[in-house]
Structure 1
Amino acid sequence: MTIRLLAAVADPDAARTTTTLLGQVPGTEPATTVADSAALLDTLAALAASGVDDLPEVVLVHEDVGPLPPLDLVREVALRFPAVGVILLSADQGPALYSAAMDAGARGLIGLPPSYEELAPRVRSAAAWASGVRRHLGGGGADAPGERAGTVVTVSGAKGGVGATVTAVQLALAAQASGRSVALVDMDLQTGDLASYLDVRFRRSIADLAEITDLSSRVLADAMFSHPSGLSLLLAPADGEQGEAVTDRAARQIVTALRARHDVVVIDCGSRLEGASAVAVELADTALLLLTPDVVAVRAAKRTVRLWDRLRVRKPQDVRTVVNRHTRHTEIQPALVERVTGTRAARTVVPAAFKELQAVVDSGRMDELDPRGTIRKALWSLAAELGVAGAPAAPARAERTPHRLPRRSERRAIGAGGGS
């Protein structure tokens, strides 16, 4: 058996040392290295898209890799790619770390600097374990781990009241109408009101999953609400203080578990940056930032994007901005939003037509928004643009509104409030 290896090592010297030692282990292919946790997860996801057999048998995680903490990275790989043997490299060889690494899903712990005598047997043992898991999966007819990796879309507001929850609900409904299994998550933990928009009375919430380490399908189903529309809802706690239980680590586990069990996961992150919502934005395939076409909202969007960048949550070019409440005479156009924030603006803009929303918002029947209305058409067009739903029957009229160049005074007003 040929052992394929992938190592996540940030320091170039440590990477060379590790790959040299790995190359001496009989039966191994030359090891591939990546420099950070995001590159490791992206590489594994790309390989898993072709099937579990294309994944490496062994992944090595160096203690200095970042930005994700090493134990969290081990847990993430073990959850998303269970047929991969993960080995942690650390200078700490104490029993506490060993126990934590095993709990996270590691198949071994190797001291730093690594030695061939310790490395070789650990690698062979982890590879044999991975091969056994793959044989079991192949014989049992189960879905191979990593083959089903749902699309995660986060919806954040540049500031409060810009329409993030309405957008999240309609994106989820559009995806569900296209035949996909959809989870709609309220990760606005303190002030989330997704339940009000869909007239849901509930007892369980995302906070009930915070302390659970094994998020099986049954555990998730017990915490979620099955809405008549077909959506599976994971709601924010009724008492905002309970949201503090959802730590960064818990949020990462929850998003990963939902991704593995649904075709599409739509997460309403609200307008406040909290640890859990930051994790969701980091993990998302698409991160939307909603704003309205006014100077205050554009400045808020610029601050949010820069904050995400400084905290290494997400780079500006990987954020998709969406202009809501757009009118024919709007001063601020998507092209200007792109230049000011450094993001990519969605082609679809959402028109200002609150009268279409008022009745369904007041009754908590957001799933009954008139399909002939311009708002639903626009939001379902946005879902199609993002690739989470089929093309709608007709495009939104707002998409055909020609973009007009902003006035010089408007450009100066936005730029003056940018901040750093």
Structure 2
Amino acid sequence: MPTRILPAAGDADAVRSLTTLLSQLPDAEPLAAVGDSTQLVDTLARLAAESVDELPEVVVVHERVGPVPALELIREVALRFPAVGVILVTSDASPGLFSAAMDAGARGLVPLPLGYEELASRVQAVAQWSVGVRRHLGHGADLSGGAGGRVVTVSGAKGGVGTTLTAVQLALAAQASGHSTALVDMDLQTGDIASYLDVRFRRSVVDLAAITDISPRVLADAVFRHDTGLALLLAPGEGERGEEVTDRAARQIVGALRSRYEIVVLDCGSQLGGAGAAAVETADTALLLTTPDVIAVRAAKRTVRMWDRLQVRKAEETTVVVNRHNRATEIQPALIGRITGTPVAATAVPANFKELQGLVDAGRIHELDARSTVKQALWGLAAELGLVKRPVTTAKGHGRMRGDRGSVSFRRRREAGG
């Protein structure tokens, strides 16, 4: 069986050089080259979604792939697709870089300028390693991620649209259904998850920012275990310290969480910084919250376009969620979808702040009654997104989540025009 090789390089000369040599290798099947880090991860994710057998055995990453630095890209590929062998092509063949590449998850390094013998030898060795890993794990194993490793970001079109409430309830729904779940406050300057859950904890996401190798022990020391079972990674108490979390640090933190938890929900707030952009770019699901009013919908449209311009997220890969929905409003979900050019979640969250106010003020939002229409909608949204295991159906046709005190309806509410 030929070895499938996916090259990733950021300029035409590098692509030509790579593909020319790869096409000369015996029993090699070079795939169409990808031009940047986003295309590489998207391509691997698409192939994995079809079947893990569709994944290439070898990925060759050129040092100039961009925009994500090559070592960070290798780390992400190794975490998300652990049976894919990665080779780094670089002009720096020093022991220091070799060690850093191995730590990131690379299976080999080939120096520039490229030589046939060196490339052929390394590709053959990495391909054999990849085949061996797949044979050991078996076809039934999940080769496209660690322990579940589903990452969901929740961003707001503007402030005050309900981002934190949504992130908290999605995480609670996933945890109650039996998934190991982490909830991360990536709204680094003004994050409110600690207030919503009445938590006081001295450690925060900033404590992981300067650590290049986040071990399970280090991660456990930074995480707060809430009474609900959620693992919380909080925003810093001093908002100015949020600047210490760079986009590189954010990728490493998300990667460490992905490898430890089945579901990772990140509240990214409404301001796009480097860390938030990195989180949205690497997420499996990116939600953008808006309310059905002109100002918020315009802000949602601006956000979608900005993400696209900055190559953070394509419009078709972003899901808009309508919060505080009312059948009487002129702006309905279908119209919002046309304006933003994005898919819109079938579940719209109703406007009913009276259900929430007392618990928000008390920092006990996790105690929201199961009969709450807002909770039913948000947990229904979690089911729509595939964040919960199948609910138990009661005689009355409602779903009861394991760990919940009451019944929660998971009927998808498709409002008129939604």
**Same fold by TM-score greater than 0.5:** yes
Query: What CA distance in whole angstroms lies between the structure 2 residues aligned with 1:51 and 1:218?
Result: 33
Contact 1:8 1:33 in 2 (8 A): no
What aligned pairs does 1:255-334 form with structure 2 within 5 A after superposition?
Answer: 255-334=254-333
Deviation at 1:328, TM superposition (A): 2.9
> Retained in 2: the 8 A contact 1:198–1:365?
yes
Q: Which residue of the partner structure matches residue 22 of structure 1?
A: 22
Instruction: State the match for 2:367 in structure 1.
Output: 368
CA contact (8 A) 2:348 2:415 kept: no
Superposition RMSD in Å: 3.0
SS at match of 1:214: coil
Cα distance in 2 between the residues matched to 1:80 and 1:324:
31
Give the secondary structure class of the aligned counterpart of 2:319: strand
Distance 1:343 1:115 in 2: 45
Deviation of residue 13 (structure 1)?
5.9
User: Which residue of the partner structure matches residue 87 of structure 1?
Assistant: 87
Summarize the Cα distance change of 1:53–1:214 in structure 2 as closer, same or farther, 3 Å threshold: farther
Quick check: 1:288–1:322 contact (8 Å CA) kept in 2?
A: yes
AA aligned opposite 1:72: E
Cα 1:397/1:231, change in 2 over 3 Å: same
- 1:341 and 1:46 map into 2 onto residues whose CA distance is 24
Instruction: Give ranges in structure 1 of 5+ residues lacking alignment.
Output: 405-420
SS of residue paired to 1:155: strand
Structure-2 residue corresponding to 1:410: none
Measure, in 1, the Cα distance between the counterparts of 2:119 and 2:320: 47
Report the more deviating stretch, 317-326 or 267-276: 317-326
Q: Is 1:15–1:33's contact at 8 Å kept on the other side of the alignment?
A: no
User: Which residue of the partner structure matches residue 66 of structure 2?
Assistant: 66
Q: Is the 8 A contact 1:210 1:246 kept in 2?
A: yes
1:191 counterpart SS class: coil
Provide the rounded CA distance (Å) in 2 between the counterparts of 1:398 and 1:5. Answer: 42
In the alignment, what sits opposite 1:351?
Answer: 350
Q: Identify if the C-alpha distance between structure 1 residues 149 and 177 changes in structure 2 by more than 3 Å, giving closer, same or farther.
A: closer
Of 377-386 and 142-151, more deviation after overlay is shown by 142-151
Q: Residues of 1 paired with 2:81 and 2:62: CA distance? A: 18
Number of the residue aligned with 1:229: 228
Matched with 1:416 is none
Range moving further from structure 2, 97-106 or 329-338: 97-106
Query: After superposition, where does 1:20-419 map in structure 2 within 5 Å?
Result: 20-26=20-26, 28-35=27-34, 36-45=36-45, 56-93=56-93, 98=98, 100-127=100-127, 130=130, 146=145, 148-389=147-388, 390=390, 393=399, 395=409, 399=413, 401-403=415-417
Normalising by the residue count of structure 2, what TM-score does the alignment of the two structures yield? Answer: 0.85
SS of match in other structure, 1:399: coil
> 1:49, 1:398 → 2: CA distance?
24
Residues 10 and 34, structure 1, Cα contact 8 Å, conserved in 2: no
Q: 1:260 Cα shift?
A: 1.9
Q: CA deviation at 1:93?
A: 5.0
Q: Deviations over 1:249-303 (max 9, x none)?
A: 1111111221222221111001110111111111111111111111111111111
Partner SS, residue 153 of structure 1: strand
Q: Is the 8 A contact 2:194 2:234 kept in 1?
A: yes
Identify if the C-alpha distance between structure 1 residues 167 and 146 changes in structure 2 by more than 3 Å, giving closer, same or farther: closer
Residues 3 and 57 in structure 2, CA contact (< 8 A), matched pair in contact too: yes
Task: Answer yes or no: is the 8 Å Cα contact 1:48–1:147 preserved in 2.
Answer: no
- CA pair 185-93 structure 1, distance change in 2 beyond 3 A: same
1:338-397, CA deviations, whole angstroms, 9 ceiling, x for partnerless residues?
121111111111111111001110111111001101111111111111111246636589
Secondary structure of the 2:29 match is coil
Question: Could you say if the C-alpha distance between residues 305 and 29 of structure 1 is closer, same or farther in structure 2, counting changes exceeding 3 Å?
Answer: same
Helix, strand or coil: the match of 2:61?
strand
Question: 1:398 deviation in Å?
Answer: 10
The amino acid that maps onto 2:67 is P
